[in-house]
Amino acid sequence: MIYVPLLKTRQQELSVSKKMNYCFSENIIPLFEILTDKYETKYKIDPITHSVIVEQKGKRKMRIKEVPTDSDIITLDFINGLLGDKKAFIDYFRFTIEKYGKNININKTDLAWKLSRDSELYKNRIEEISKYSNLIPTVSIKQGFDFKKSELEEFLVKLQSENEIIALRITEEWLEKYRGIIKNILRYTDYLLFDIGEQNPNSKIMELEEVMELEISAKKILLNSPRKSDVRNGAYEEFGITELIDNSVREIYSEYGFQGIGDYCGLKDTLPSANEGSNGTGAALALLYHYEENGFYSFLNPDTSQGMSGYNKIIPIVLSKKDIFDLAHNCPAIQKIEKMNKSGNWSTWHNITITRYIHQIYSHI
């Protein structure tokens, strides 16, 4: 099985990628959905003394940062540094308000927003990936973002001329339109990433059979987002394997000729919100994946008034179940929980969810 963790380039996903890069291989290839650029930090220099300009802020002197420009972009270098030269799919993310809503933090998705409105810039950024031998350019076709058939074919062929491997990520509604391109253009070294989003795979039998009937030499990966974006924390079970995350893709993918699967590692397919934070309230939820049972154990503190401090009740319960989660005493997520001297925050527990999921796949693949 090939596993593709789908990771948006937020702080916790990047942090996990750095810590868990030993898990990445030919069998576990992460896909980064790039939302915003990373810039090299530069400071203003005095043209006479050639020293860094500082200003007084309270009792401290602070260096003044230069406003970053396009020449300061180090996004791909940064990701490559996290990977240690392991392979990764690079998907310059684009989105529609219809799918992700209006309450989006544009400052944290500025590049994705810009690319969503400029297809030529999108293609230019995809082409830049060709400079890195281990990064796989990924062209994503989905609702609101398609190309004329001749344009897509020309673009894919150009990418192939510069890369040993490319990937085409496509949703079901475009399968018929691009069937010929998929069959005739993709090579045996390439990947077809068939994305069914939040839909249950058992409801997409006809579409999965269509992909199987393509009989292409490219590797086929079935992408799914089994944790629904509109289900709030408080809806989950206080303890036990949750019925709200259906991970059945792992059980059926090979029946339809797919070589692997991909998902968001227990997170939702959402974008940074314009009003992130919870005003100190919210239901504390921990989700820990169990490979043998192919399900997520849910630990919930339903008292929303406690907010993040509600994890103080969850932590001892999780650790009391170590015989379920860490018989080999090597789970980095459990180790992280054991070392916590406070409750952590929402991001801390997102980190734990991703870490646990990737390590479980790594340990059993």
Q: What are the phi and psi torsion angles at 355 (to 5°)?
A: -55, -50
- Residue 76 counted as domain residue: yes
The span from the CA of 90 to the CA of 4, in Å, is 12
If one counts the domains in the chain, the total is 1
Chain-centre distance for alpha carbon 365: 20
Provide the 8-state DSSP code for 26: S
- Residue 163 counted as domain residue: yes
- Residue 100 sits in a domain of what CATH number? 3.20.20.70
Structural domain that includes position 30: 2-41+68-272
pLDDT one digit per residue (tens) for the chain, 365 residues: 999 999 999 999 999 999 999 999 999 999 999 999 999 999 998 888 888 988 888 888 888 888 999 999 999 999 999 998 899 999 999 999 999 999 999 999 999 999 999 999 999 999 999 999 999 999 999 999 999 999 999 999 999 999 999 999 999 999 999 999 999 999 999 999 999 999 999 999 999 999 999 989 999 999 999 999 999 999 999 999 999 999 999 999 999 999 999 999 999 999 999 876 557 789 999 999 999 999 999 999 999 999 999 999 999 999 999 999 999 999 999 999 999 989 999 999 999 999 999 999 999 99
The confidence score (pLDDT) of residue 278 equals: 55
Name beta bridge partners: 32: 7, 90
The confidence score (pLDDT) of residue 133 equals: 95
Helices (H), the chain: 11-19, 75-83, 97-100, 110-116, 119-128, 149-162, 179-185, 205-212, 249-252, 311-319, 322-325, 332-339, 346-364
Please name which of 242, 214, 210, 207 lies closest in space to residue 228, comparing C-alpha atoms.
242
Residues 6+ apart with CB under 8 A from 56: 62
3-state secondary structure of 201: helix
Task: State pTM to two decimals.
Answer: 0.95
For residues 128-153, one letter each, b for 16 or more C-beta atoms within 10 angstroms of the residue's C-beta and e for the rest, the string is ebeebeebbbbbbbbeebbbeeeebb
Residues 6+ apart with CB under 8 A from 99: 143, 144
